[in-house]
Amino acid sequence: MKRWLMFLLAIAILLVLTACGGGDTEEPATETEGVPEEQENVEGEEETPPVGEEAGEDEGGGESEEFMFLTIDMMDSDGNSIGTAELSDEDNGVTVALDVEGLEQGTHGIHFHETGQCEAPDFESAGGHFNPTGASHGLNHPEGPHAGDLPNIEVGEDGTVSEEITAENVTLKSGEDNSLVKEGGTALIIHAGEDDGETQPSGDSGERIACGVVTAE
């Protein structure tokens, strides 16, 4: 009888040990399975860019389409370079910083024209004034001005002009009706005479003596 009890006790101990051993085996397996899932989530977060500020910044990095600053090469009727006009987009329009030489002393009209072509000697390839709204010409005209109309410039005795003027009715932002960097571009033209601010279609400002192409390219 004692032997039988000892036998049953031994079997019970083996069963307990087996049960404990099985539990120890399952727990590590569970922990191991959890690790790859966490790793996959982390990797997925790293590989997939967030749809948020970074994506918006990439698209907004399209400041390339908002040309805040452009430099125009100005040429005379012989096709020679006579200086530059630096355009910068401001809250109140486009600032034109003109630095040109080789002109006749006196007052000269200056305008943005509708086509970005400067074919010497007469620059007629630039077309008429830039006028997307169909207004009348002249800063002094009650139904004006053209978007491309600018204040007159003064050339010194030495034939140079270094002046900053503002074009209040245009922009360098692409896609706008009054954008100077529209398809085909525009042109900046200096005339031989003074713009009277009223006479149609160009203020009786005379021949075109200097030209520069305004383009985003």
140-166 per-position pLDDT tens digit: 888 889 999 999 999 999 999 999 999
Cβ atoms of 144 and 136 within 8 Å: the answer is: yes
User: What's the rounded Cα separation, in Å, for the pair 179 and 172?
Assistant: 5
In sequence order, the 6+-apart residues with CB closer than 8 A to the CB of 15 are: none
* Predicted model pTM: 0.69
Structure tokens at 158: 């030495």
Which range (51-55, 121-125, 144-148, 205-209) has the least confidence?
A: 51-55
CA angle 211, 192, 140 (to 5 degrees): 95
Q: What is the mean pLDDT of residues 51-74?
A: 55
d(C-alpha 168, C-alpha 193), whole Å: 22
**Dihedral (C-alpha) 159, 162, 167, 173: value to the nearest 10 degrees?**
120
Burial of 191 (0-12, 13-18, 19+ CB in 10 A): buried
Which of the four pLDDT bands, split at 50, 70 and 90, describes residue 68? confident
pLDDT greater than 70 at residue 4: no
* Closest by Cα among 111, 121, 60 to 214: 111
The DSSP symbol for 202 reads: T
* Residue 56 C-beta-side C-alpha neighbours within 13 Å: 3
Tokens describing residue 137: 């010409």
**What per-residue confidence (pLDDT) applies to 40?**
46
Are residues 153 and 83 in contact, defined by beta-carbon separation less than 8 angstroms?
no
Instruction: Give all strands (DSSP E) within 39-92, no chain letters.
Output: 69-76, 81-90
Give the pLDDT of residue 143: 87
What is the DSSP-derived secondary structure letter of residue 41? H
Range with the lowest mean pLDDT among 40-44, 91-95, 137-141? 40-44
